[in-house]
A and B are shown apart, each in its own frame.
Chain A
Amino acid sequence: AQKITQTQPGMFVQEKEAVTLDCTYDTSDQSYGLFWYKQPSSGEMIFLIYQGSYDEQNATEGRYSLNFQKARKSANLVISASQLGDSAMYFCAMRYYGQNFVFGPGTRLSVLP
């Protein structure tokens, strides 16, 4: 069965510094999509960034980038210049063709002033 692992239950980062949130996945499929979602304390799930398994370049969206290493089956989220508003839960997820998502357990990020 496909599985997403996020080994960091909680992370701290100083404001304005960069932080990497780890995500590894387990699949035998060749075609899949990787996603990161942010869940602030208000509870909503916010889409951040997407990486396709055949994409050669790492995805970037503003301060978010995805460090995709296909051979290692990792899809780490990098947040540059952290802001206090980045404090939230972050979920890594994967989707296969025609299938629903598999979510990781999440990492709680706390940005310190």
Chain B
Amino acid sequence: DAGVIQSPRHEVTEMGQEVTLRCKPISGHNSLFWYRQTMMRGLELLIYFNNNVPIDDSGMPEDRFSAKMPNASFSTLKIQPSEPRDSAVYFCASSQQGARSYGYTFGSGTRLTVV
């Protein structure tokens, strides 16, 4: 099992540009989560999907952020237009839905820097 795969590992972009982060969850996991981590705010849940359907996107900061999960093996988080305050590490995690004993498996994260 290759684990949760995120790409790219690092992204540096200019303010105003579109940024797309990608995630491949573990096969068989039916829940997928996008988190953002900053020093000031810690780990924040942005959005999560169950069976490819967005369940809770209340953590998405604003309309500039969007996430899709077109199938069980792929998800994207898009920021358009990007701003310097979006600089953070973005984690994708996957899990089995529901059972309290099922932990997350995190990807390695994407470190985004917006200049």
Which residues of A line the B interface, CB within 8 A?
31-33, 35, 37, 43-47, 50, 52-53, 91, 95-98, 100-101, 103, 105-106
Contacts and interface: CB of A to CB of B under 8 A. Distances in A.
B97 interface: yes
Interface string B39-68: 000110100100000001000000000000
Interface in B1-59: 31, 33, 42-43, 45, 48, 56
B113 interface: no
Given A91-B43, A98-B98, A43 B103 contact: no
A52 B100 contact: yes
Interface residues of B, number: 23
A53 B100 CA distance: 9
B48 A100 contact: yes
Contacts, number: 52
Contacts of B104: 35, 45, 47, 101
For chain A, what secondary structure do more than half of its interface residues adopt (helix, strand, loop), or is it mixed?
Answer: strand
A35 B98 contact: no
Given A44-B108, A45-B106, A106 B101 contact: no
Interface in B57-115: 89, 91, 93, 97-106, 108-109, 111
Given A43-B111, A97-B100, 7 more contacts: A35-B103, A45-B104, A47-B103, A97-B99, A101-B45, A101-B104, A103-B43
Contacts of B101: 33, 50, 52
A55 to B, nearest CB: 9
B100 to A, nearest CB: 4
A50 B103 contact: yes
Given A33-B101, A52-B101, A96-B100, A43 B109 contact: yes
Nearest to A55: B101
Given A44-B108, A45-B106, A32 B100 contact: yes
A68 B57 CA distance: 32
Nearest to B59: A100
A33 B42 contact: no
A57 to B, nearest CB: 15
